[in-house]
Amino acid sequence: MAHAAPATRGTTGRGPSTPDVFGPGVHTAARWAVPVVLGLVYGYWAAANRRDAGPITGWNLLFGFVTALVFAVLYVAVRTVAQRLGRELHAVLWAAFAGCAFGFLFSQTGASVLKSTGLSLVIAAALFAVLFYRYYTHEDAEGHRIAS
């Protein structure tokens, strides 16, 4: 008895049956959603560290939202500038951003300036090593980025 061969996906004329998850529309939405979400999480975290399990006040809310706004703006600026840099400066910029962000969060817990600075330098150095390795292994011999 003969059976019909299964049709391959996309040959039925109806178009793709699954949405294009990585299409340009999704990238455009993520380009703005990621900084906003990360900023809100960071602002909440900073405000929670600052109030130290105390009551939530208007000043605490203002501090959280201002921190979220500053973080999101700096994230977008670093992301925009870092794309134009070589691998060394690209890694340094992201490491400095992450180190400063961590240092600020840690300083809100009431830790000393020296401890906050020391830990943020350790975080930045570790992140620089990881990012430099990643950027170095994702470039060709002339220093052009390869799609990963």
What's the pLDDT tens digit per position in 97-127? 999 999 999 999 988 999 999 999 999 999 9
Same domain, yes or no: 91 and 132 = yes
Same domain, yes or no: 100 and 75 = no
Domain that holds residue 80: 30-84
Same domain, yes or no: 54 and 42 = yes
Tell me if 112 is assigned to some domain.
Answer: yes
Tell me if 148 is assigned to some domain.
Answer: no
**Contacts of residue 61, Cβ cutoff 8 Å, sequence gap at least 6:** 47
Same domain, yes or no: 73 and 102 = no
pLDDT, position 26: 81
Q: Structural domain tally of the chain? A: 2
Bigger pLDDT: 146 or 111? 111
Q: Kindly tell me if the per-residue pLDDT of 139 is higher than 90.
A: no
Tell me if 16 is assigned to some domain.
Answer: no
Exposure string of 102-113, with b = 16+ CB inside 10 Å and e = fewer, is bbbbbbbeeeee
Same domain, yes or no: 126 and 80 = no
Question: Under DSSP, is residue 18 helix (H, G, I), strand (E, B) or coil?
Answer: coil
Phi, psi of 71 (to 5 degrees): -60, -45
Q: Kindly tell me if the per-residue pLDDT of 96 is higher than 70.
A: yes
Same domain, yes or no: 80 and 68 = yes
Q: Which of 61-70, 81-90, 109-118, 139-148 has the lowest mean pLDDT?
A: 139-148
Q: Kindly tell me if the per-residue pLDDT of 17 is higher than 70.
A: no
pLDDT, position 74: 97
Same domain, yes or no: 49 and 75 = yes
Exposure string of 15-45, with b = 16+ CB inside 10 Å and e = fewer, is eeeeeeeeeeeeeeeeeeeebeeebbebbeb
Same domain, yes or no: 38 and 68 = yes
Predicted TM-score of the model (pTM): 0.78
Tell me if 101 is assigned to some domain.
Answer: yes
What's the pLDDT tens digit per position in 30-74? 889 999 999 999 999 999 999 888 888 899 999 999 999 999 999
